[in-house]
Amino acid sequence: MITSIELGDFLSHSNTKLEFQNGVTVFVGDNGAGKSSIIDAITFSLFGQHTRKSNKGLIKRGSNQGFAKIGFLINDKQFEAVRKIDNKGTLSATFSEITSDGKIEIAAGERKQFGESMTREVEKTIGLNFEKLKIASIVQQGELNAIINAKPKEFKELLNAIIGIDKLDVASESMKTVNKEFREKIKEKIGFDDTHLEILALDLEKHENDIQQAKPEKINLESKQEKLKNEVKELRKKIETDSPKIDKINQLEQRKKEIINYAKEAIHDIQRQISENERKINDCDGCFEQTIQKSDLESKIKKVEIAIDDTLKKIQEMIGQTASLKEKQLLASKLQLKDNKCPVCDSNVEKLNPLFQEEHLKQKMIHLQEEIISKEKEKVMYNQKRKEFSEKLQRSRDAEATLRAHSINNKEELMKIQEDVKIKKQNIPNIGASLIEISQIDSHAKMIFENITKLELETKGFDEQEFSNLKKVVNEKQMNLSQMDQQIGAILEKIAKGEQQVKLIQSAISELKIVKEYVGDLNEIQSNVFSRDGPVATSLRSWALNTISAKASEYLSLLNTKIQRISLSEKTRDISITCYSKSEVLDLESLSGGEKVSVALALRLGMASLLGASNLNLMILDEPTTHLDAERKKSLVGVLSQLSNISNSESPMQFLIITHDEEIFEDSTVEQIYKFESSEEGSKVIAI
pLDDT in tens, 248-274: 888 888 888 888 888 888 888 888 888
* 598 confidence band (pLDDT: 50, 70, 90): confident
The average pLDDT across 415-429 equals 82
Q: What is the pLDDT of residues 172-221, one digit of tens each?
A: 888 888 888 888 898 888 888 888 999 999 999 999 999 999 999 999 99
Q: Is pLDDT at 146 greater than 70 in this prediction? A: no
Helix (H, G, I), strand (E, B) or coil at 184: helix
Q: For residue 47, which of 112, 164, 133 has the smallest C-alpha distance?
A: 133
Give domain status of residue 121, yes or no: yes
Query: Number of folded domains in the chain?
Result: 1
Helix (H, G, I), strand (E, B) or coil at 511: helix
pLDDT of res. 93:
93
pLDDT of res. 357:
65
pLDDT of res. 229:
92
Task: Summarize the chain as % helix, strand, coil (round to 5).
Answer: 65, 15, 20
Separation between Cα atoms, residue 80 and residue 5, nearest integer Å: 10
pLDDT of res. 116:
63
Separation between Cα atoms, residue 193 and residue 196, nearest integer Å: 6
Helix (H) or strand (E) holding 661: none
Separation between Cα atoms, residue 507 and residue 573, nearest integer Å: 45
Give domain status of residue 47, yes or no: yes
- Asked if residues 321 and 327 have their Cβ atoms less than 8 Å apart, the reply is no
Q: Is pLDDT at 111 greater than 70 in this prediction? A: no
* 224 confidence band (pLDDT: 50, 70, 90): very high
Helix (H, G, I), strand (E, B) or coil at 509: helix
Helix (H, G, I), strand (E, B) or coil at 618: strand
pLDDT of res. 98:
95
- Say if strands 23-29 and 565-571 run parallel, antiparallel, or are unpaired: unpaired
Q: Is pLDDT at 684 greater than 90 in this prediction? A: yes
Mean pLDDT, the chain, rounded, equals 83
The answer to whether the pTM exceeds 0.85 is no
- Select the more confidently predicted residue: 137 or 231: 231
pLDDT of res. 489:
92
* 627 confidence band (pLDDT: 50, 70, 90): low
DSSP string, 194-245: GGGHHHHHHHHHHHHHHHHHHHHHHHHHHHHHHHHHHHHHHHHHHHHHHHHH
Q: Is pLDDT at 356 greater than 60 in this prediction? A: no
Helix (H, G, I), strand (E, B) or coil at 99: strand
pLDDT of res. 431:
52
Q: What is the pLDDT of residues 448-506, one digit of tens each?
A: 888 988 988 888 877 778 888 888 999 999 999 999 999 999 999 999 999 998 998 99
Give domain status of residue 132, yes or no: no
Q: For residue 620, which of 648, 657, 646 has the smallest C-alpha distance?
A: 657
- Asked if residues 39 and 45 have their Cβ atoms less than 8 Å apart, the reply is no
Q: What is the pLDDT of residues 402-421, one digit of tens each?
A: 888 888 888 888 889 888 88
Give domain status of residue 472, yes or no: no
Q: For residue 229, which of 491, 488, 493 has the smallest C-alpha distance?
A: 488
Separation between Cα atoms, residue 169 and residue 679, nearest integer Å: 47
pLDDT of res. 377:
93
Q: What is the pLDDT of residues 285-309, one digit of tens each?
A: 888 888 888 888 889 999 999 999 9
- Name the phi and psi angles at 541, rounded to 5: -65, -40
- Select the more confidently predicted residue: 294 or 71: 71
- Say if strands 574-580 and 565-571 run parallel, antiparallel, or are unpaired: antiparallel
Give domain status of residue 404, yes or no: no
Q: What is the pLDDT of residues 651-668, one digit of tens each?
A: 567 889 898 888 877 777
Instruction: Give the angle subtended at the CA of 353 by the CAs of 350 and 359, to the nearest 5°.
Output: 105
Q: DSSP strand E in 62-213: where?
A: 65-74, 77-86, 91-99, 102-108, 138-139
The 8 Å CB, 24+ separation contacts for 394-397 are 395/290, 396/290, 396/291, 396/293, 396/294, 396/297, 397/294
pLDDT of res. 664:
79
Separation between Cα atoms, residue 560 and residue 642, nearest integer Å: 8
pLDDT of res. 177:
85
Helix (H) or strand (E) holding 327: helix 294-334
Give domain status of residue 81, yes or no: yes
Separation between Cα atoms, residue 80 and residue 656, nearest integer Å: 19
Instruction: Name, in order, each residue with C-beta under 8 angstroms of 641's C-beta and a sequence gap of 6 or more.
Output: 24, 668, 669, 670
pLDDT of res. 109:
81
- Name the residue range of residue 9's domain: 1-127+619-634+654-688
CATH number at residue 684: 3.40.50.300
* Phi-psi sector, 460: left (phi>0), alpha (psi -120 to 50), beta: beta
* 4 confidence band (pLDDT: 50, 70, 90): very high
Residues paired with residue 91 on neighbouring β-strands, in sequence order = 85
Separation between Cα atoms, residue 80 and residue 72, nearest integer Å: 6
Q: What is the pLDDT of residues 5-41, one digit of tens each?
A: 999 999 999 999 999 987 889 999 988 899 989 999 9
